[in-house]
Amino acid sequence: MDKLKQMIIEKGEIREGNILKVDSFLNHQLDADFLYEMGEELHRLFKDQGITKILTIEVSGIAIAIMAALVFKVPVVFAKKTESLNLDKDVYVGQVHSYTKNKDYKIMISKKYLNENDKLLIIDDFLAEGSAMRGLLDMAGQCNAEVKGIGIAIEKGFQKGGEILRSEGYNLKSLAIIDDMKDGKITFRDE
């Protein structure tokens, strides 16, 4: 998606440890019109997959996921990271390692909102090592839902998550794949 690549180049900030900050439009401040365009692009990529539900994970996946849901006309379910007193007791649980926060945590989805009839599009803002995605796929597997697609905004192609998921046969598409971000210069993969 050319506009996303352009936004990353213009507004992204590279930090130590291969961290790309896109806080001005995706992760802290949100550009609603642009996120809707990303939702339209995800619909273009996955519209023939019979998607019944979009699955994502709090926090940063929610805004893109709900914009895509508005185009797909299906509900979103987002996995929750912390054990709230309010959450149902009857939940699917997945395990995630956060590299940016350097800790493991559990994610949960109430069994009410995910079932074996669901044909899922899993959406997230970033894909790097794929740890959060692994937690989501694990939960989808626990309820025998079918994962029809994985839609990512920004994939760090120099980390191994995307490569492994594609080799496992997942229908993974990313709106922008960064192959290199050394010395402050971002190189995108040709599509």
Annotated binding site for 5-phospho-alpha-D-ribose 1-diphosphate: 128-132
Report the nearest approach of a copy of itself to the CB of residue 15 (Å): 7
Cβ–Cβ under 8 Å, residues 1 and 42: no
Number of residues that bind a copy of itself (CB under 8 A): 43
Q: Which 36-75 positions form the footprint of a copy of itself (CB under 8 A)?
A: 36, 58-59, 62-63, 65-67, 69-70, 73-75
Window contacting a copy of itself (CB under 8 A); options: 1-9, 102-110, 132-140, 176-184: 102-110
Closest CA to 83 of 56, 46, 58, 116: 58
With respect to a copy of itself, which residue has the nearer C-beta, 169 or 184?
Answer: 184
Which residues pair with residue 39 across a beta bridge? none
CA 158 to mean position of chain CA atoms: 17
**Lookup: tokens for 57:** 């994970």
Residues near 19 by beta carbon (within 8 Å), at least 6 away in sequence = 100
Binding residues: 20, 27, 128-132, 156
What is the per-residue binding string for a copy of itself in 126-165, x denoting contact by CB under 8 A?
A: ----------------------------------------
Report the alpha-carbon distance of residue 79 to residue 39 in Å, rounded: 19
Neighbour-count burial of 104, counting CB atoms closer than 10 A to its CB (0-12 exposed, 13-18 middle, 19+ buried): exposed
Residue ranges in contact with a copy of itself by CB under 8 A: 15, 19, 21, 23-24, 27-33, 35-36, 58-59, 62-63, 65-67, 69-70, 73-78, 80, 82, 84-88, 100-102, 109-110, 112-113
